[in-house]
Amino acid sequence: MKRQRYLPTPVLSLVLLVVWLLLVRSLAVGQLLLGTLLAVAIPLLTRGFWEPLPHIRRPLKLARFVLVVLWDIIVANLQVSRLILSFKRQAQPGFIEYPLEVKERLAITLLANTITMTPGTVSTSIRPDGESLLIHALDMHDEQALIHAIRERYERPLKEIFEC
């Protein structure tokens, strides 16, 4: 109860502390204290603006997810570059509607951002009811295959991480 009151979001506080230490580039005691103060004060002051954040159930899965996404960003860059540079092959653009399985708002945000960062897809719009996501694909040959790939590669892990 007490912890809930004074430290509502421990992960956010930790991130703030690390960002502060990186910004000032020192590990002096004074900076550590100041950083801790900020890390506690900022979440408390801005608490009114935060939605209740879902708990991360499986940190290991999250780490694995981050690595997968990083790797996919590299692959995405290579693919898009090849498409831009090649004279013969023309891209086949298309819109698809992706039915969402996750319902947690943070998870949907993460999924939309991930989709934008990875191979040839940009998320364009979310239906207000949060049921589906509009995606523009740069080079799409099989709609079902793309939906399947996104579901297996990104949505499943996110769902398991937040267990929603």
Q: Which residues bind another protein (CB under 8 A)?
A: 19, 22-23, 25, 73-74, 76-77, 80-81, 84-85, 90-97, 112-114, 116-117, 120, 122-125, 127-128, 134, 136-138, 140, 143
Minimum distance, C-beta of residue 139 to another protein, in the bound complex (Å): 9
Minimum distance, C-beta of residue 7 to another protein, in the bound complex (Å): 22
- Name the residue nearer to another protein (CB basis): 53 or 138: 138
- Name the residue nearer to another protein (CB basis): 91 or 149: 91
- Name the residue nearer to another protein (CB basis): 89 or 163: 89
Minimum distance, C-beta of residue 60 to another protein, in the bound complex (Å): 21
- Name the residue nearer to another protein (CB basis): 112 or 161: 112
Q: What span, in angstroms and rounded, lies between the C-alpha atoms of 147 and 139? A: 13
Minimum distance, C-beta of residue 161 to another protein, in the bound complex (Å): 18
